[in-house]
Structure 1
């Protein structure tokens, strides 16, 4: 039984498996729900591709920063403090995912550990 949440304009913004305050029940074959779940417009596909590309580039930049630090080309302290915090936060998240992957056996999507991880650069 799907329940939905709407924004102020009345558009669906979330689909829920159970009723919560402010949600409303809709039929599983509701046209508006189907449209929301299958947002298959060219614009939506282009946005998704761009997002996936951005995420890939972010990973490349993180790895590049690791390599430059490892080779002594830059120092971690050369980055502004807000950038250091963001890098440290991402490093922590990557370690958490690596830990979860070790526990539950990831697959192709497993995050490889870099030399910088082992050296404790972050």
Structure 2
């Protein structure tokens, strides 16, 4: 992408092609470009982030299903993936325990 900067050095316009005023090229994944593009369509970026979170849960469920059906072994996954999945499982367990505790407190009138 080609960009234009304002007097402070911040990106204020982008172009797919080098044209008059758009001579500085930056990588499509450059942090400042990504940040600028988020300001253009914040709802679309938030929807994408929400979708990413939902897809993470879908993938977690798929992995669990494959392990449960003995299609793969949990230990077949890369160590980093195993750690992340275990962390998420522990977090969900703690949240579930907290919710159960709060429900018990309500029934006791606390």
- The TM-score range, normalised by the shorter chain, is 0.5 to 0.7
- Matched with 1:100 is 98
Task: Return the alpha-carbon distance in structure 2 between the equivalents of residues 75 and 103 of structure 1.
Answer: 34
Of the two, which has the highest radius of gyration?
A: 2
Which of the two has greater helix per residue?
Answer: 2
Q: With a CA cutoff of 8 Å and minimum separation of 6, indicate the structure with the bigger relative contact order.
A: 1
Determine the C-alpha separation between the residues in 1 that align with 2:55 and 2:43: 18
Q: How big is the alpha-carbon RMSD for the aligned residues of Structure 1 and Structure 2?
A: 1.8
Number of aligned positions between the proteins: 66
TM-score by length of 2: 0.54
Per-residue Cα deviation, 1:4-37 (whole angstroms, up to 9, x for no partner): xxxxx9xxxxxxxxxxxxxxxxxxxxxxxxxxxx
Deviation at 1:49, TM superposition (A): 0.7
* Distance in structure 2 (CA, Å) of the matches to 1:71 and 1:89: 22
Gaps of 5+ in 1: 1-8, 10-40, 106-122
Name 1:69's counterpart in structure 2: 67
What TM-score, normalized by structure 1, do the two folds share? Answer: 0.49
Find runs of 4+ consecutive structure 1 residues off by over 4 angstroms: none
The gaps in structure 2 that reach 5 residues or longer are: 1-7, 9-38, 104-110
- Post-superposition Cα deviations, 1:82-101, rounded to whole Å, max 9, x if no partner, equal 11111111111111121122
* Corresponding residue SS for 1:72: coil
Aligned partner of 1:80 in structure 2 is 78
